[in-house]
Amino acid sequence: MQELIAGLGDRLRKLRPVPGDTFHTDVEALSGPFTQLRRIARQTRADGRGEESVTPEPVTNPTAPLSTDDVFAALSEQYGRELRVHCYRLLGSYDEAEDLTQETFLRAWRARDALSGVAHPRAWLYKISTRLCLDFLREHDRRPTTYTPVPGVDSGVGPPPVRVAWLQPFPDDQLPDRTAPAHEPDAAAVASETLELAFLTAVQKLPARQRAAVILRDVAGWSAQETADLLGSGTASANSAVQRGRAALRQALPGRREDWSACEPGAGESALVRRFMDAVAHCDIDAMVDLVREDAVLTMPPHPFWFSGREALFRFLRPNLDPASPEFAGHWRTVPVRANGRTAVAGYLQSPGTSVYRAQIIDVLRIEAGEDRIAEITTFEPHLFPAFGLPMTL
């Protein structure tokens, strides 16, 4: 920990606010070490307070000896991705899901001497991670809101969308690559549609225990009794939470499943995305406009900006994309990726007067089946480029 703090101190002292692009990249590069330090600080605070947790001691301290540390390492390898996805569905944030997945294994590591007495290690790890997420949600009482007008910004004439300020993208290549056995949760546990941004936005509206109950029962596929055990409640209470959560989720999701559920991109979608990337690379604004639906929506979590309708969207973007404009942001290079079951584009920007392309945005695109235009763009900040296996500069 001292080495981590010392290293951060050295890097902070070397920060310089100019040139702006270098400053931005250097600050973004600090997110990983700060995430690690935040994880340590959270655990240190909990240890120092001795505070009561909804994660009871028997959950993380079963009674029986462990054979070898290799068994624990194998569990980490086998279930790490699955637990990260589970935490992400509950929280909507990749950073926080990563934090609590690591904390799950930290709790389990401390109890590794008892692991050989655990009949179902997977359920044990799910219980730890679920309770940790419930602890986090109890401490951070946050609910989705609705975007509001930004002074001086024309957001368009359409209705303001739901705002989840903490929402972050999840890389598809970090999904579990195994299919659950028949006696465990089935393949729905890794279904891409339950990582769809529309689903995540809707499920974030549910109270924490209802959210956990629905995800455990309907997404991860645990039985009614198993769900109750994982939540530490009676079966009747867990079933009630599932039923209330299902009803609320039906109201929150768009009416037609095809309006929000993702599917593998076809040849038409892939061609559309290539044309969009080419238009961005060549600063061809007219071509970009032609590839976006008239009623398209753009949001930028965690920022308050939003645009409903193609006209308002490009009224905002055009000055930054036009080389003849005094507000021209620079030239772009893009890389296709997959996030939340959708096609996404990672954008690198070369600002005027510089020679380096720096990580700038990740655009997750919603393209409805059979259509040849982009219906929605959700733009995220660049600090998660490494999670997508991408460098911060080109």
Tell me the per-residue pLDDT of 82-103, one tens digit each, with 9 for 90 and over: 999 999 999 999 999 999 999 9
Q: And the tokens for 79?
A: 């279930």
Tell whether omega for the bond before 19 is within 30 degrees of 0, i.e. cis: yes
- pLDDT band for position 16 (cuts 50, 70, 90): confident
Q: How far apart are CA 342 and CA 339, in angstroms?
A: 5
Q: Is the pLDDT score of 5 beyond 70?
A: yes
pLDDT for position 75: 80
Write the DSSP symbol of residue 297: E
Q: How far apart are CA 334 and CA 18, in angstroms?
A: 25
Q: Is the pLDDT score of 149 beyond 80?
A: yes
Q: Is the pLDDT score of 78 beyond 80?
A: yes
Q: Which of 177, 172, 214 is nearest to 341 (CA)?
A: 172
- pLDDT band for position 43 (cuts 50, 70, 90): low
Q: Is the pLDDT score of 138 beyond 70?
A: yes
Is pLDDT larger for residue 351 or for residue 115? 351
Is pLDDT larger for residue 95 or for residue 8? 95
Is pLDDT larger for residue 195 or for residue 40? 195
- pLDDT band for position 130 (cuts 50, 70, 90): very high
Q: How far apart are CA 75 and CA 325, in angstroms?
A: 55
Is pLDDT larger for residue 259 or for residue 334? 334
Is pLDDT larger for residue 310 or for residue 183? 310
- pLDDT band for position 80 (cuts 50, 70, 90): very high
When pLDDT is averaged across residues 105-128 and rounded to a whole number, the result is: 84
Which of 10-14, 158-162, 289-293, 308-312 shows the lowest mean pLDDT across its residues?
10-14
When pLDDT is averaged across residues 235-247 and rounded to a whole number, the result is: 94
The two beta strands, 292-299 and 306-308, are antiparallel
Q: Which of 135, 81, 141 is nearest to 105 (CA)?
A: 81
When pLDDT is averaged across residues 200-229 and rounded to a whole number, the result is: 93
Dihedral angle of Cα 25, 26, 29, 35, to the nearest 10 degrees: -120
Q: Is the pLDDT score of 307 beyond 50?
A: yes
Q: Is the pLDDT score of 184 beyond 50?
A: no
Q: Is the pLDDT score of 153 beyond 80?
A: yes
When pLDDT is averaged across residues 268-272 and rounded to a whole number, the result is: 91
Which of 66-70, 137-141, 268-272 shows the lowest mean pLDDT across its residues?
66-70
pLDDT for position 188: 41
Q: Is the pLDDT score of 315 beyond 70?
A: yes
In Å, what is the CA distance from 246 to each residue of 210, 231, 253?
Answer: 8, 17, 11
Q: Is the pLDDT score of 289 beyond 60?
A: yes
Residue listed under structure tokens 């409640």: 233
The two beta strands, 162-163 and 145-146, are antiparallel
Is pLDDT larger for residue 318 or for residue 268? 318
pLDDT for position 113: 73
Q: Is the pLDDT score of 49 beyond 70?
A: no
Q: How far apart are CA 103 and CA 81, in angstroms?
A: 14
Instruction: Answer yes or no: are the C-beta atoms of 245 and 231 closer than 8 Å.
Output: no
Phi then psi for 284, rounded to 5 degrees?
-90, 90
pLDDT for position 62: 47
Q: Which residues of 256-291 are buried (b: 16+ CB within 10 A; e: fewer)?
A: eeeebbbeebeeebeebbebbbebbeebebeebbeb
Q: Which of 105, 116, 96 is nearest to 78 (CA)?
A: 105
Instruction: Answer yes or no: are the C-beta atoms of 100 and 136 closer than 8 Å.
Output: yes
Which of 88-102, 259-273, 344-358 shows the lowest mean pLDDT across its residues?
259-273
